[in-house]
Structures are given as C-alpha cells and as structure tokens.
Chains A and B, each alone.
Chain A
Amino acid sequence: MEKKKLKRKSRFWSLVTSVPELSILILLIVGGYLVMGFASKVQGTEILSPTDIWLIIVGSFLISTAIAILAVIGGIGGGVIFTPIMLGFTSLDSLVIRATGLVVAMFSGLISTGPFMRSKLANIKVVIYCGFPITVGAILGSVAAIRLHNALGLVGDGIVRLSLGMLMIIIAYFLFTGGGKTEYPEPKHIDAFSAKMRLNGSYWEESLGKVVNYHLVRAVPGGIMFIFLGFIAGFFGLGGGAFLTGTLNLVMMAPVKVAAACSGVLLAISNATAIWTYITYGALIAVFAAPWMLGQVVGGILGAHLLISIRASFVRKVLIAILLISCIKLVLRGIEEIFGIDIPII
C-alpha cells in the first residue's frame, strides 16, 4: 500500500513534466500574478481592498481546482457546475459569469484534447464536421445572450436564470440516468450523406485486443442538434459535454469512447468561439477568469491521475445533488428578477 502511494505521488510529478504546454501556461499565469503583485498593479476599489482581491483570486483558484477534480472524476464538464452555482448563488454580473463559465468549460475540454487527439480516440473528421454547426450555434448563442442583456437588462438576466434552472433539471436527469449509452453501437444503415462525409474511423480497443471500426450515421439531424447545443453553450456559458457525448453516441452512433473524446475537443472549439463575443463586449475580466482557468488545468490534471479509485457514480450523485440545489435557486431568482418580487427562500 505504501509503495502504491509513493508510486502515485511520483506519477503526479512526472505528469507535470510530461505536459509542458500546460506547465508553461501555469507558470506564465502565476508569474503574471506575481508581477502584478510586486508592481502593485492590483489596486483596491471603493468596495474591495487589495487583500480582498487577492483572496478572491486565490479562493477562485482553489474552488476551480476542486470543481475540476470532481468534474473529471464524475465525467462532467467544469462549466456545467460553475455557471449554475455562480448564477444562482452570487450577485456577480450574469454576462461576466457566463464568460468565465465558457473559460472554465473551454479549459475543461482543452486539457483532454491533446491526449485524445494523440491516441486517435478523437476523430478529426468527426470533430471538423461537428465543429462547424456547433461553432455557428455558439456564436448565435453568445450574440443572443448579449442582445438579451442589452434589451431587457435585469429582466433578461431573470429569463436566463429561469431558463437555465429548467435546463439544468434536464441536464441533471440526463446525468443521473446516464443517457442510456451504448458502448459499441451498430448502425443498421449508413445514410448517403454520412457516407459522403466519410464520418468513419477506427481505434485500438485495448480491452478487446483489437481495432474497432465505426461509421457515424444521421449526420444531418446530428448537425442540427449540434447547432442547438452550440447555442445553449454560447448563451448560458456552459460546456454541455454530456449532451455532446450523448448526441454523438445515441444519435450519430459513435462508440462511447470516441463520443466522449470528440466531445472534449468540440467543447473546447465551441467555447473558444463563443467567448470572443463576450470578450468584445468586455464581459471577460482577465483577473477574475485567470484563476478559474488555472484551477481547471491543475484540477483537470489532478483529477485524471489521482483519486482514480473513487467511483464516478458516487461523485456524479453528489454533483447532481449540487446541480439540483442550484436549479431551485436559479428558478427562484429568475422569478424574482422577472416579476420584481422577493421569495424568501435560501
């Protein structure tokens, strides 16, 4: 047992050195903060002292790390936890939260992109095909979010909270039931469009000791669904990785591992696109977003390599319970903001 613990510890350090791009990123961010600190660039405001700001930065990093660890173990994207909690329980501007949520979700997907692409589990053809509709949807969603915010102000935020609360109930149900996934779906018929798009591939399945060949089907309905999912991601600042995986697995009949790997990459693509609309609007505050991003990277690595014996189903149940509490809060706050009433619950 002792030997095992030591082995796990050394694996963590070897991991830090084996992912140089992320290690450099972490160093740059930490360095950036240190420079800011030494140069006294973090100035207090009327309501926040420099100490408060540093506390927010460090606290955000720690919470983000914890969310990322839980998210990786539970097989859930970080954004799906971050955005509802922050929108439900804090009074921060909803656009700032959603922009930061996109950063969280983007980095949640980004850290797995490299390994998935290298292992050929993520199919580049599938990613490119699904990447177009999801990108279009993400841009539309983020533009719609800004327009709604400008047009309706607080009532618009209320609509966002209420609709997100209701959407989260569906997401929580989907996560709870597992979406009825199939490990190796076998399509009976490959439609002409999917065949033309050549949405096929193969990967080495170690557990079977053989290469698994697959061909995705229903490219058209799948593409339409990706526009919708991209819109949801851009509008609410969520990743929605579970929905992406579900669409690839259940609608387009990708093997579950391929679906999970592709969804990680697609998550990064769609969120990276949507975030630009928020950046141009000024809704992304770097000082606030960076520790969340850093936390996702660190937590993502820790979650992937430590605590591997913790049951995903258990962690998922905990996360689903958190999501359901957030749902209630979101719905109540949404009603409060839309109708201008006060509901004295939590």
Chain B
Amino acid sequence: MAIIIISRASYSHGRVVAEKVAEELNYKCVSREVISLAAEEYGVPEAWLKDAFETGPSILDRFKHGKKKYIAYVRAALLEYAVQDNLVYHGLAGAFLLEGIPNILRVLISATMEERIKHMMEIRHVSEKEARKAIERFDAERKKWAKFFYGKDPWDINEYDLGLVIGRITVEDAIKKILETVKMPSFQITDEVKKILKDEYLAAKVKSDLMNFYSDVEVTADDGVVTIHLKRSIRQQDAITEDIKEILMEMPEVKEVRVNIIPVY
C-alpha cells in the first residue's frame, strides 16, 4: 500500500528501475499513460501535453497559461491513478506534481554522465559528442521548466526522499534500495493520506475545468467542499461567484462551492 514517484534524468535507466520495482511489488506502473489519460479526459492532443513537460517555458509562456493548464490536466490524471493506491509513476515532474502530499516515496534516479552518454549512444546510435550535447540540453530544459513552474531545482536532492545514481550503484541495487525504503512506515498510505489524495484529486479536477475560464485559479477541497481562490477586483465577486457555481454545477462530486476573491489593490 504505497505510492512511489520516480523522477528520472534522461538515459539514467530510471524506466527499467521503475518497471522492475512495480513488477516486484505487483503495483501499477505508469508514465506516458498519465499523459494519455489527461489527453483523453480533457480533449487535448497528447503531443501538446508532452511538449508542456519536455520544453522549458518560452517568453510567451510568461504571458499565457497554456502550459500551466496542461500541467494541471496531467496532475489531475496522475492523481486519478494515485487515489487507486499501489502505484509506481516515473517521469521527471512526478515529485512536483504531487508536492505536499505526505507519505509518498519520492525517488530521484540519475546516472553518471558517462553512463548516460553510453546508454544514449546504445539506444539512439549517436556519437559521444552528440549524446553529451543532447543530455546537457535535456537537463538544462528540465531545470528551466521546474524553476519556472515550481521555483525549484529538479536535481536538488532535498526535494526527494531517496537519491540514486546509476553508475555508482547498479540497477539491481537501486531496485533493492527502493523496495527496502518503501516498506518503511513513513511511506505507507494511511486512511488520512487517502483522504488527502481524494481531496487533492477533486481540487485538481475542478482546477483543470476552471482553468479554461480562469487561468490563474487555485483550488482547495475538503470532503466535497471546494474552495476557489482568485485574485480579482472585489467588485467582480458576485459575478465570479455566480459564474463559477454555474460551471461546477455539473460535477456530482462537488457538494458545495465556496469562492474566495482575494482583492487586488
């Protein structure tokens, strides 16, 4: 009864580790499936969602909220898997997507540069120079991405519970280490955590729906009571409240809608 989020650097053998861990534990293992689910539920091409995670923010992204919306969709899809428990997710942003939720085991898997270059050369059949350049570019893009959307460094070990570097340890050792760690009481999904996951899932779903209309919306949920937080003029409070209630009217999980307008001045 656990959720393992594996954030992996490109060509670091993270996928193999994640799949083996899931197999050993008999858990569901997802990565691209989350993107597919989000694409299906929100009617957005998978390529757009993938692009939102793979490329850093452009100058335009500082003014529009397209990528933020897609990230919200993917977060909602990941939480849909997470509420079902017994999950291994691998992908770079997992730790950030489920940020703040307790008892989830967050693992960072990287590899020495030599190991990554070797792995990429084997898979992509490229030269050492090309592989190094591509890996450095991936890392820089991901760092830029995480800094922009979460204000954090994806390679900072303090964001994770466990950091493993393939090359210094073997893939088998990494799997063993994760399997040992996940048995610890700190990483068990209790009823309390299940409730948090359920609330977060509802909030993420509502946020995804509302982001089409209110790009800067923040949502919290507690047992079906959904609170919408928006920075707007206080004079727009009544109109916004009415509008949001109308939008959320058709969500059966939402028992009550509360709108918190934080006045701007």
* Cα–Cα distance between A76 and B215 once the two chains are bound (Å): 21
Check B233 against A209 for contact (C-beta < 8 Å): no
Given A260-B234, A312-B231, A246 and B213 contact (CB-CB distance below 8 Å): no
Instruction: Please choose the segment from A23-31, A37-45, A300-308 that sits at the chain B interface, where 4 or more of its residues have CB less than 8 A away.
Output: A300-308
* Cα–Cα distance between A313 and B216 once the two chains are bound (Å): 10
Check A263 against B231 for contact (C-beta < 8 Å): no
Q: With both chains docked as a complex, state the minimum distance between the C-beta of B97 and any C-beta of chain A, in angstroms.
A: 23
- The B contact surface, by secondary structure, is mixed
Q: Within 8 Å of chain A (Cβ to Cβ): is B36?
A: no
Q: Within 8 Å of chain A (Cβ to Cβ): is B232?
A: yes
* Cα–Cα distance between A135 and B148 once the two chains are bound (Å): 47
Q: Which residue of B lies closest to A306 (CB)?
A: B239
Q: Within 8 Å of chain B (Cβ to Cβ): is A83?
A: no
Q: How many A-B residue pairs have CB under 8 A?
A: 103
The interface on chain A, measured as residues whose beta carbon lies within 8 A of the other chain's beta carbons, has a size of: 46
Q: With both chains docked as a complex, state the minimum distance between the C-beta of B182 and any C-beta of chain A, in angstroms.
A: 38
Count chain A CB atoms within 10 A of each CB in B229, B236, B259, B264 and give the residue with the most.
B264
Taking CB atoms and an 8 Å cut-off, the chain B residues in 209-237 that contact chain A are 213-216, 225, 227-229, 231-236
- The A contact surface, by secondary structure, is helix
The interface on chain B, measured as residues whose beta carbon lies within 8 A of the other chain's beta carbons, has a size of: 32
Check A75 against B263 for contact (C-beta < 8 Å): yes
Q: With both chains docked as a complex, state the minimum distance between the C-beta of B234 and any C-beta of chain A, in angstroms.
A: 4
Check A308 against B239 for contact (C-beta < 8 Å): yes
Check A207 against B229 for contact (C-beta < 8 Å): yes
- What residues of chain A lie closer than 8 Å to B256, measured between beta carbons? 209
Check A245 against B231 for contact (C-beta < 8 Å): no
What is the interface of chain A, defined by CB distance below 8 A to chain B? 4, 7-8, 11, 72-76, 112, 115, 121, 175, 178-179, 181, 183, 205-209, 241-242, 245-246, 249, 256-257, 259-261, 263-264, 300, 303-306, 308-309, 311-314, 316
Top 7 A-B residue pairs of the complex, sorted by shortest distance between their CB atoms: A207-B260, A75-B264, A260-B263, A245-B265, A75-B233, A260-B234, A304-B235
What is the interface of chain B, defined by CB distance below 8 A to chain A? 63, 213-216, 225, 227-229, 231-236, 238-243, 246-247, 256, 258-265
